[in-house]
Amino acid sequence: MSASTTAPMTMTDPPTGSRMERFVWNCRYHPKRELWFAWWVMVIFYNLYGVLFFFVTHVQPPPSPAWDTPTVVQWFDDNGSGVIAGFAIVFVIAGLCAPMNALLAYSMRRMSVSPVFAYSYLIIYALAAVPGMLVMAMAMTVAAFRPDRDPEIIQWLYDFAFLSFSGTMGVFMIGSLVWMVAILIDKNRVFPKWFGYFSLCNALTEVVVAPAWIFQRGAFAWNGAIAWWINMVVFVSYTAVFIVLLRRMIEREDFGTGPLPELEAAR
């Protein structure tokens, strides 16, 4: 392939000027700019996700599956505009998942394991956004879009939204297990082993959500103490932990500031 692509990148020392100048320099020339970009996208994505799902659309913590039809319609009357506006922003930002998954896949490329792990994870999580977020957003939007619809249909959309969101857990379970195996057999110590075991915990809590398909009330329903609250605690701590661990991984990366290493794709 072409040899012209390996032109050296001109690297200078960061300027000593104002904070703004340094920030701009870092954005353009910092050797780890791609990693930090993906990391910050991840942090921003999860924050937006939390704000949009908990405070704008009010779909988290989830309303009850035990409600009768008039109550569900009433819920849409109360929250309809928040649902539409919040999910509209979700539709704009959902693509932020991509750099985030790319960073997780990259972490696996740094390990002493086959690239199969990174690519599997990338594809699994690229798929995960559809049942994990977008189907729910679409069903809720459609339900809120025409509040004068037949109440039975509104309730069907409500069930569709929450069950697709809570009940589709296989992608996350298999994804966590792929990551777990990669971490446990990795010799480069990109992640600590305990995080591998923690991934197992996370995968097991995904199993626990399955009864949401079966129960309309109680601890195992989609808003239940076991199927939602305990899982949410595990998921939030898992996410917080891997955000911190990825930050440490990026800090440890030693790219130097010299010319680029030969582009692997071209060879």
- From residue 4 to residue 43, the character string flagging contacts with another protein as x (rule: CB under 8 A) and all else as - is xx-x-xx-----------------xx-xxxxx-xx-----
CA dihedral defined by 170, 172, 178, 183, rounded to 10 degrees? -150
Residue 48 in contact with another protein, rule: CB under 8 A? no
Residue 99 in contact with another protein, rule: CB under 8 A? yes
Query: How far apart are alpha carbons 39 and 21 in whole angstroms?
Result: 21
C-beta closer to another protein: residue 47 or 153: 153
**Stretch of residues binding another protein (CB under 8 A), selected from 15-23, 52-60, 64-72, 81-89:** 81-89
State the greatest distance between any 2 C-alpha atoms of the chain, in Å, as a whole number. 68
Instruction: Decide if 226 contacts 219 (C-beta within 8 A).
Output: yes
Residue 146 in contact with another protein, rule: CB under 8 A? yes
- 74-79 contacts at long range (C-beta below 8 A, 24 or more positions apart): 75/158, 76/143, 76/144, 76/147, 76/154, 76/158, 77/147, 79/144
Residue 200 in contact with another protein, rule: CB under 8 A? yes
Region for 256 from its dihedrals, namely left if φ exceeds 0, alpha if ψ lies in -120 to 50, beta otherwise = left
**Stretch of residues binding another protein (CB under 8 A), selected from 46-54, 55-63, 70-78, 100-108:** 100-108
- Shortest separation between residue 209's beta carbon and another protein, angstroms: 12
Residue 261 in contact with another protein, rule: CB under 8 A? yes
- Binders of another protein among 203-242, rule CB under 8 A? 204-205, 207-208, 211, 214-215, 218-220, 225-226, 230, 233-234
